[in-house]
Amino acid sequence: MAGRADAGLLRVQELWAYGEILGARRDLDWVSVALSVDLPVQEVPWLCRPAGADLWADLTRASKNPVGIQWRSVHAPAWNHHIVGPVLVWDADSGVREDAISALREGRGSAVAIAAPSEENFMARMDDELTVSLAELTRRTREYESEHTTRLGVRADALHAAAQGYLDVLAAQTRDLARGDS
């Protein structure tokens, strides 16, 4: 997809692997990836798909395979409370990261994963995620209440994703604050 010259096609800049694929070699039912795109952070809130994401997934056949995609902005860290210790597998500038692929194949993906952030950096990142998620939830709620030109299901799906993202980040932040207070 990186070499395609289609105007308006969503451009993935980085592919990060995370989750079970970082562990010991075994058969997996599902692979989790984070795809970073060159869009402002506000256009890629947690658990929401940016414009063009569905087309990208269809063209790459990711939508037909056991791949769970989380969309991220290249202008913010790929990691968060759910994407823990990801491994950069590919980027638009350097291509495939052979060292990362080898480590994943050998069952030692966590050895090449990015380091965990400090508690301060993690909390700052969660604050940023929450701010972006709340803004998206507010926008989608207004759109749902006022927009009558698109199908109800399309608006409802976007509102649901925004609400789910906000609540997920809020719950993670609340858990982390509770852990820090004890």
| Measured CA distances, 182 to 21, 39, 163, 175, 178 (Å) | 32, 38, 29, 11, 7
**What pLDDT does residue 7 have?**
47
* Integer Cα distance of 2 and 4 in angstroms: 6
Which residue, of 83, 112, 141, is where some domain finishes?
112
Classify residue 5: in a domain, yes or no.
no
- In the chain, the amino acid numbered 177 is L
Note down the domain range covering 136. Answer: 119-181
Kindly report the CATH number assigned to the domain that includes residue 43.
3.30.460
* Domain co-membership, 156 together with 89: no
Q: pLDDT of 75-123, one tens digit each?
A: 999 999 999 999 999 999 999 999 999 999 999 999 999 999 999 999 9
Residue 163 pLDDT > 90, yes or no? no
Q: Is the pLDDT higher at 151 or at 46?
A: 46
Residue 3 pLDDT > 60, yes or no? no
* Domain co-membership, 99 together with 126: no
Tally of domains within the chain? 2
Which residue, of 86, 112, 138, is where some domain finishes?
112
* Domain co-membership, 86 together with 129: no
* Domain co-membership, 96 together with 172: no
Which of 6-15, 24-33, 106-115, 122-131 has the least mean pLDDT? Answer: 6-15
